[in-house]
Amino acid sequence: MSTNRSERSLCVSVIWMSNGLEAMPKLLHGTTVRDIAKEAGVSMGKLYIYYNTKEDIFIDLVDHLGQKMEAIRQKEIMPHMKSLDPDSLRQLGLSIGRAVSGNLDYWRLMYIDVVEFRHKHFIHSFRQIASGLRECVTTALANSKIAFPEGVDPALAYTAIYLQFFTYFLTEELFGAKRHLGMDDKEAIDQLVLLYTGGRCVANRSSRSRQRRMS
């Protein structure tokens, strides 16, 4: 099997862009690489230059769309992760909504991974969420008038907020359960932000610093 990554990426791009992920359900049990090639309009000879198995195809699709999602996360989501203030969290929620609705194929890959490959290609990303967000939490707390309750692990709390926004929009967009919380997206985000931040304002940090120096 060829190891030329640029050529393999081109090949997998052809498979994906031919029908989005319309061909991907055919990765399920009982379907051959030949079936995938036919569905995507790629010759068997071309496909076998780069891939031995359908799992090889799947891994490259995960990598291909994963790189796209990481670029979106860095550009569209991360800028809204600098504070726990309600306005910042609202913008975070809406940016996650755009990332989900505009990239449904990436999320479909997760479910295919569970069914076909026992979730082994995505499980690491879930295990790393809290540790990956810990640095963001430190910055967010330093720039925010909101504090989590005493005794609550900030990384866990922020991860819960982050994942809640993804869960909401995946339910709305991927599963098509529109208004599943009984309201539109903006109202739902407002309510979720209020749920996490309501009544949790803390004193101005400069004032607290002065108080500590005086004591």
Q: What is the pLDDT confidence band of residue 24, given thresholds at 50, 70 and 90? A: low
CA distances from 147 to 143, 192, 193, 195, 197 (A): 10, 16, 13, 13, 8
Q: What is the pLDDT confidence band of residue 205, given thresholds at 50, 70 and 90? A: very low
Report the alpha-carbon distance of residue 90 to residue 93 in Å, rounded. 5
**174 part of a folded domain:** yes
On whether both 200 and 116 belong to a single domain, the answer is: yes
Range of the domain at 150: 64-214
To the nearest 10°, report the CA torsion of 20, 21, 26, 27. Answer: 120
**57 part of a folded domain:** no
On whether both 90 and 123 belong to a single domain, the answer is: yes
- Extract the tokens encoding 21: 């992920």
Average pLDDT on 30-59 reads 75
Nearest to residue 11, comparing CAs of 53, 55, 64? 64
Q: What is the pLDDT confidence band of residue 202, given thresholds at 50, 70 and 90? A: low
Percentage of the chain exceeding pLDDT 90 = 29
On the question of pLDDT at 16 being above 70, the answer is: no
Q: What is the pLDDT confidence band of residue 9, given thresholds at 50, 70 and 90? A: low
On whether both 37 and 121 belong to a single domain, the answer is: no
Q: What is the pLDDT confidence band of residue 214, given thresholds at 50, 70 and 90? A: very low
On whether both 23 and 90 belong to a single domain, the answer is: no
On whether both 111 and 157 belong to a single domain, the answer is: yes
- CB atoms under 10 Å from CB of 65, counted, come to 19
On the question of pLDDT at 203 being above 60, the answer is: no
Please name the residue ranges forming H helices in 73-128.
86-101, 104-117, 123-127
Report the alpha-carbon distance of residue 202 to residue 211 in Å, rounded. 14
Q: Under DSSP, is residue 146 helix (H, G, I), strand (E, B) or coil?
A: strand
Q: Report how many helices (DSSP H) and strands (DSSP E) the chain contains, helices first.
A: 11, 0
Q: What is the pLDDT of residues 65-93, one digit of tens each?
A: 888 999 999 999 999 998 888 899 999 99
- Tally the domains of the chain: 2
CATH at residue 179: 1.10.357
On whether both 73 and 42 belong to a single domain, the answer is: no
What pLDDT does 45 receive?
82
On the question of pLDDT at 186 being above 70, the answer is: yes
Q: What is the pLDDT confidence band of residue 57, given thresholds at 50, 70 and 90? A: confident
**58 part of a folded domain:** no
User: Are the beta carbons of 13 and 63 closer than 8 angstroms?
Assistant: no
- Residue 146: beta bridge partners? 201
On whether both 129 and 152 belong to a single domain, the answer is: yes
User: Are the beta carbons of 98 and 72 closer than 8 angstroms?
Assistant: no
